[in-house]
Chain A
Amino acid sequence: MKWGRIVVTSLKYIIIGVFILWVLVPVAWIITLAFKPYQEWRVAYFIPKQPTLDNFIVLFKPEVFTGVMGATAIVEPVTKPLINSLVVSALATVLAVIVGFFSAYGASRYNTPGPFGIFFTLLTRMLPPATFVTPIMVYYANLGLLDTHLGLIALYSSVTVTYAIWILKGFIDAIPVEWEEAAMLEGASPTKVLFKVVLPLVRPGLVVAGLFIFLLNWTELLFALVLTNINAVTLPVHISKYVGAVGQLYGPQAALALIGSIVPVTIGYIIQKHLVTGFTFGMVRG
């Protein structure tokens, strides 16, 4: 009996331990790699013997280290892709959440565009994105949208609006219709009902949807890789450039990955309170 419990407990911890390693080792590897000098990139230990910030500096001033890290060509400074990513992700997220809110309200309260319509919005998510890349590229080439911010924002927001609709519809469904009816009877116009009653109540939903969509946009690689070249290059595309034709710049790549993860981690930390109320909305209602 006693032995049985010990076995069960230790098994439990072994499973948890394996899972933690599985999740954390790659993260730890990236963190330590970012601080390792060129000579230690391919070694099998974690803690760098001669920690350095060179990997970070080379991201912003690539010309300083030409040749030193075995690079055969210069990678553009990271500033532009970083700004591009921030602008594109943020604007596409805002657009998706706004459009998603109104669509979700219509779907929840007026059942538009019908039960199949709302399901249909998921259809584009059921095929691999690679399927859409070629046709979109042809469209964009003809519309002059290749390698533009506008092109990426339009594409990202139209792809992610699906998630906004589905997340927000759940939140709006949870608001009793009577609340809106009461407001209506007391003299509020439909617009007022929407902005004074519904909008404040789905605020946690807007945060959840916004965060989720922002992360999707922030990490999107495939579309950006195909549709951008110089002008509108995003961070994930830029990260991928460090290993390939220019050489094997593992250190700078890890450093940039680290920088790239600061934004979502910070956002997640700031709004975790909202996140909790968001995910448990049905329980805290009223």
Chain B
Amino acid sequence: MKKVKLEVKNITKRFGDLLAVNNVSFEVYEGETFTLLGPSGCGKTTTLRIIAGLEKPDKGRVFIGGRDVTDVPPRERNVCLVFQEYAVFPHMTVYDNIAFGLKARKEPEELIARRVREVAELLGLTSVLNTKASKVGLSEKQRIALGRCLVVEPEILLLDEPLTLADAKIRETMRRELRRLQRELKITMIYVTHDQLEAMMLSDRIAVMNAGRLLQVGTPREIYEKPKNLFVAYFIGSPTINLIEGKLVRKDGKLVLEKEGLVLDATKLLEEAKGVGKIIGREIVIGIRPEDIQIDPSGHGVWKGEVELFEVSGDQLIVHIKLAEETKIRAMAPFSLRLRTGDIVGVAINPDKVHVFDRKTGERIDLLSIGEA
């Protein structure tokens, strides 16, 4: 049984008219990396600041290690926060920056020296310990900010978008470093980011937030494979998921998706799926990830379409295919695939990879569970 390190219970926070956090609850287990993921303004940073004690929730409680800390001031919570704009004091040396927390706690001098040296070694800062913090580069600053937190051995390490300021190369290294450190030190880490890729790479579990609400909590795989609603499906994955909406009806023995007079044949796509009978006649949205679509140049597959344009993304091609008027999808294809705009290609889709959502509520409709029931 995993031990619960942090419990957030029904927290709500308002700033004037803005409902920043709306009745959010979740649990974080000891030693895991938990990510709050969402677009800017979704309430993830506010949630983090409430955990740190820098904001007081209007409603709800926060428990750390079973202790109710809702009314405990930040410095007595034993949590530490790495800020987006690294809080590194320019008037102190790197050593004094890292030692700050221990000095504030009046730890003995030998212990401070030993701990600072350990942390500096861990983060590769030994050579700059005596440099003024205003003189070091961005990537060092980031490691100093992290070091300042590690040195006080917090129960929970909070990170607020710590990689946004860094450039792509450094970000990649830091991401790996963070993962390694977390594993090595077995810290409980709560990470805030708007970058879904970063969240997928770093996290044991992810909580997706939007407009102050918590939409889904799960492992990166769960969130990717079984998004609970349209927003999560749309937010996770790059390039973004293809969404086709319409009313599913049976017409002349075929399953078709109707929308404002436009009709798309979905017989081949959905016929085999169990429980499809339950959604006939409903307004739905079908979601298919571009990477779950195979392009067949010979024209076989669920649908046929015309290649409109393609973009190069690393060693992959993102192919835009026009299925019908107003209906276009994106598919990933290997770089080696020879395509020209105007080609008519077949589109093959594994029915298991099709996500179905209710168009009005945006909630996921699990065909399998309907079928079983």
Binary interface profile of A, 206-228, with partner B (CB < 8 Å = 1, else 0)? Answer: 00000000000000000000000
**The residue from B54, B81, B101 contacting A187, defined by CB atoms under 8 A apart:** B101
Identify which of A43-51, A93-101, A176-184 touches chain B. A176-184
Q: Is residue B105 contacting chain A, with contact meaning CB distance below 8 A?
A: yes
CB distance from A258 to the nearest CB of B (A): 39
Q: CB of B351 within 8 A of chain A?
A: no
Provide the residues of chain B in CB contact with A189, threshold 8 Å.
75, 104
Residues of A within 8 A of B148 (CB): 182, 186
- CB-based nearest A residue for B154: A185
Contact B83 A186 (CB under 8 A): no
* Alpha-carbon gap, A7 to B152, bound state (A): 69
Least distance between B43 CB and chain A CB atoms (Å): 18
A contact residues around B75 at 8 Å (CB): 184-189
* A178 with B134: CB separation less than 8 A: no
Instruction: Kindly identify, within residues 89 to 109 of chain B, every residue whose CB is under 8 Å from any CB belonging to chain A.
Output: 89-91, 100-101, 104-105
Q: B100: which A residues are within 8 A, CB to CB?
A: 183, 186, 188, 196
Chain B residues with CB under 8 A of A187: 75, 101, 104-105, 152
Whether A186 contacts B134 in the complex (CB less than 8 A), given A176-B85, A178-B83, comes out as: no
Interface string of B71-93 (1 = CB under 8 A from A): 00111010111011101011100
Q: How far is the CA of A27 from the CA of B230 in the complex (A)?
A: 77
Bound form: Cα–Cα A184–B152 in Å: 12
Instruction: Please tell me if B367 contacts chain A, counting CB pairs below 8 Å.
Output: no
Find the B residue at minimum CB distance from A286. Answer: B90
**A283, chain B: closest CB distance, angstroms:** 13
Of residues 167 to 197 in A, which have CB atoms within 8 Å of B's CB atoms? Answer: 176, 178-179, 181-189, 192, 196-197
Contact A182 B90 (CB under 8 A): no
In this complex, how many residues of chain B approach chain A with their Cβ under 8 Å: the count is 26
On whether the beta carbons of B74 and A181 are closer than 8 Å, the reply is yes
Q: Is the CB of A185 within 8 A of B74?
A: yes
Q: Do A178 and B87 contact each other (CB < 8 Å), given the known contacts A185-B52, A186-B148?
A: yes
The answer to whether A181 and B80 touch across the interface, beta carbons within 8 angstroms, is no
Give the one of A189, A196, A200, A201 with max B CB within 10 A: A196
Q: How far is the CA of A183 from the CA of B100 in the complex (A)?
A: 8
Set of chain A residues within 8 Å of B73, measured between Cβ atoms: 184
Chain A residues 29-73 with CB under 8 Å of chain B are none
**A285: Cβ under 8 A from any B Cβ:** yes
Q: Could you say which residues of chain A place their CB within 8 Å of the CB of B52?
A: 181, 185
- CB A154 to nearest CB in B, in angstroms, measures 33
Whether the Cβ atoms of B152 and A176 lie closer than 8 Å is: no
The residue from B81, B90, B91 contacting A185, defined by CB atoms under 8 A apart? B81
Which A residues touch B91, using CB under 8 A?
A: 200-201
Inter-chain contact A186/B152, CB cutoff 8 Å = yes
CA A197 to CA B89, docked complex, whole Å: 8
Interface residues of A in 114-151 (CB under 8 A from B): none
A181: chain B residues within 8 A (beta carbon): 52, 54, 74, 81, 83, 87
Closest 8 CB pairs of A and B: A186-B101, A182-B87, A188-B104, A178-B83, A187-B104, A187-B105, A200-B91, A179-B87
New contact pairs (16) apart from A182-B148, A185-B80, CB-CB < 8 Å: A181-B52, A181-B54, A181-B74, A182-B81, A182-B145, A183-B104, A184-B74, A185-B54, A185-B81, A186-B152, A187-B105, A188-B75, A189-B75, A192-B104, A200-B91, A201-B90
9 contacts between A and B (CB under 8 A): A176-B87, A178-B87, A179-B89, A183-B100, A183-B104, A185-B54, A186-B80, A186-B148, A285-B90
